[in-house]
Amino acid sequence: MNIVDKIVLQGEKEDEGKRIDVFLAAELDYTRSYIKKLIVDGLVFVNGKTVKPSYKVKENDEVVLNVPEAEKIDVLPEDIPLDILYEDDDIIVINKPQGMVVHPAPGNYSGTLVNALLYHCKNLSGINGILRPGIVHRLDKDTSGVMVVAKNDKAHISLSNQIKERSVFKKYVAIVEGVIKDEEGKIEAPIGRHPVDRKKMAVIEDGRYALTLYKVLERFKENTLVEAVIKTGRTHQIRVHMAYIGHPIVGDHVYGFKRQKFKLEGQALHSSVLGFMHPTKGVYMEFEAPLPEYFVRLIEILRNK
């Protein structure tokens, strides 16, 4: 059996007592049934040993999941333009456009950020396997903005540790439905897989700790421009949290209104600022990605309503 990807995770305090299949399904873009099959096939290790799907996760457990080859694939370099904000021998910081998938996945092996990076860079970190070289963190397909990619394993480990320690600064800008009355607020609600629709995330009692801080930047007739800083990096965190407080993001067809007033390609969510310690220079660096054109146009439309 050929292994195409190796994913390493660590159990946190809030994961104590969760079944290993539930834990992995909540963390990754795989169904619980697929995770279960990998566990039964002996492809999941906890602290170096295989386990059963019923194994209960403990804090600081090292969980390794080996992803087998599902079909013969070729992740090829593609000459796709990149908006590069910064680059050196260790990292490359890019402004990802809305509509670009970060890494290849079943049914989507071309046109991704990874394809573009393989063309542009001679080297990328191999820690995340051939499907996700250099990818330390992700942005959703329809979320634009700044993200960092590791060019070598040392940089990858350093950035991954900073993310685990929650020392990476992540600020987003979003346009949400409705008018938020408070000037600022805090959303502290656990996030996990939706109990019915496994493709979605939701605020659930036994989810993983998630904290979002938001501030109102501008109010419109029926919408609000907000700034959001995430202290944790849960899947779809801002989208889930804003929907949870009754203000889903405009253009979000998954967590937002079924009938959208504006013809957007996706949610009006932009990763505006990313800050971290440089892996080898040891200095704090912060990068900002300007708002994309569609976002600016939508703001002008809302101002003139």
Q: Mind telling me the catalytic residues?
A: 140
Contact 141, 266 (CB under 8 A): yes
Q: Which of 9, 8, 55, 26 is nearest to 208 (CA)?
A: 26
Quote the CA–CA distance of 87 and 150 in Å, as a whole number: 10
Q: At what angle do helices 20-27 and 32-40 cross, to 10 degrees?
A: 130
Cα gap 189→212, rounded to integer Å:
9
Taking the CA atoms of 50, 53, 59 and 63 in sequence, report the sign of the dihedral they define: positive
Query: Strand, coil or helix: what is 253?
Result: coil
Whether the Cβ atoms of residue 215 and residue 230 lie closer than 8 Å to each other:
no
The two tokens of residue 296 are 């600016």
Q: Using CB atoms within 10 Å of the CB of residue 142, give its burial: 0 to 12 exposed, 13 to 18 middle, 19+ buried.
A: buried
Could you give the dihedral angle defined by the CA atoms of residues 16, 28, 94 and 92, in that order, rounded to the nearest 10 degrees? 70
